[in-house]
Amino acid sequence: MDNKQQMKDDSPSQIIQLGNLTSLHVTGSDANKFLHAQFTNDLSNLPVNNWQYSSYCTPKGRLLAFMTIARLDENEFLLILPAEIGDNILPRLRMFVMRDDVTITPQDENTSITGILGAADNLSGIGLTQKREDGKLSRDNNNCLLTISYESGRFLFIGESVKLKANPSADRNNWTLLDIQTGIPAIVLATQETFVPQMVNLDLIGAVNFKKGCYPGQEIVARVHYLGKIKQRMFAVETSSNQLAQPNDKIYIAGQPDKVAGTVIQAAISDSSQCLQVVLQTKAVDENLDLRLGTSDGEKLTVGVQPYSVSKD
């Protein structure tokens, strides 16, 4: 599997319209307290003009959403998540606002989310200077530029579509491929309420804080961390199949149609193969079992190089 792309400041930038993402704007004097009590990460210590990964769980600890949270001001936040789950996450969050001074609004029609591969400073029309430190953001009124990875030249722009004067590419494959290669998952409708955060390695990318206070599902997530053994983890795998796998497609052990060994999170096409992000039984990986996509006699899967150490616990 190819390593993450290395970009130089003078490289032509690739613009990728990420219509599969949306944002929720959260404001109010209680916004910090409210969001901190809902999500798995420590929002109270997130500085202004910084962003973090976090997630939203059911009371049983199952993932409803994985998201990027940007803190725009002391009491102003932006939640970036898949558009197809935005319509059910918004009313769920509003249901728990009660008497808090919190307003949650969906992304308006004049706002879009764009991925930038290359030097964001090279793009005319943005009017924002890229931050040279991962986890930081620049802001100008309603436009934000998040530094996802400065070293590899990866940025996320949320704002007015007309700000980007370059011709955008409609192909999101390259962005998804980088997510897979860097171990960043996606939870969509097909995979909602399927995994606890550790199964998709959220504890390994800093999206779960085990020292913060209560949130929905906290007891179960903590129990898995402190007392349990994680029998499923997320891995990057490859296959020669050119038919793109879909979220929630199943992984089987060869010749054993009744043995489901894993679930597809997302997939993308690389130069020589299809790269998949899958949650697998760690036993199947440890024992180097013959894994197949879709059926027990489907395309063979090869476990690739992982972007970080995946616990075999």
Q: How much is the pLDDT for 7?
A: 44
Q: How much is the pLDDT for 242?
A: 82
Q: How much is the pLDDT for 305?
A: 87
- The count of residues in the chain is 313
Q: What is the mean pLDDT of the chain?
A: 91
C-alpha 194/C-alpha 74 separation (Å) is 34
Residue 82 phi/psi, 5° resolution? -60, 135
Mean predicted confidence (pLDDT) in 110-120: 89
- Is residue 118's pLDDT more than 70? yes
The 10s digit of each residue's pLDDT in 25-73 is 999 999 999 999 999 999 999 999 999 999 999 999 999 999 999 999 9
Q: Check: CB of residue 118 under 8 Å from CB of residue 153.
A: yes
Q: Check: CB of residue 82 under 8 Å from CB of residue 186.
A: yes
Mean predicted confidence (pLDDT) in 270-299: 94
For the record, the structure tokens of 63 come out as 């993932």
Which of 51-65, 73-87, 169-183, 205-219 has the least mean pLDDT?
169-183
Q: Check: CB of residue 88 under 8 Å from CB of residue 135.
A: no
Give the number of other Cβ atoms within 10 Å of residue 6's Cβ: 9
CA atoms within 13 A on the CB side of 214: 3
C-alpha 284/C-alpha 227 separation (Å) is 22
- Is residue 312's pLDDT more than 60? no
Q: Which helix (H) or strand (E) holds 34?
A: helix 31-36
Q: Check: CB of residue 262 under 8 Å from CB of residue 194.
A: no
- Is residue 186's pLDDT more than 90? yes
- Is residue 234's pLDDT more than 60? yes
Q: How much is the pLDDT for 60?
A: 97
- What predicted TM-score, i.e. pTM, was given to this entire model? 0.92
Mean predicted confidence (pLDDT) in 192-218: 96
Q: How much is the pLDDT for 139?
A: 94
Residue given tokens 């400065």 in the structure block: 150
- Is residue 145's pLDDT more than 80? yes
Closest CA to 30 of 97, 90, 102: 102
- pLDDT over 70, % of the chain: 92
User: Which domains are assigned to the chain?
Assistant: 14-180 (3.30.1360.120), 231-307 (2.40.30.110)
Q: How confident is the model at residue 192 (pLDDT cuts 50, 70, 90)?
A: very high
In terms of DSSP H, where are the helices of the chain?
31-36, 83-95, 173-182, 218-226, 282-286
Q: How confident is the model at residue 5 (pLDDT cuts 50, 70, 90)?
A: very low
For the record, the structure tokens of 269 come out as 């096409």
Give me Rg for the CA atoms of the chain.
19
Q: How much is the pLDDT for 8?
A: 45
Residue 4 phi/psi, 5° resolution? -60, 150
C-alpha 310/C-alpha 313 separation (Å) is 9
Helix or strand or coil: residue 100? coil
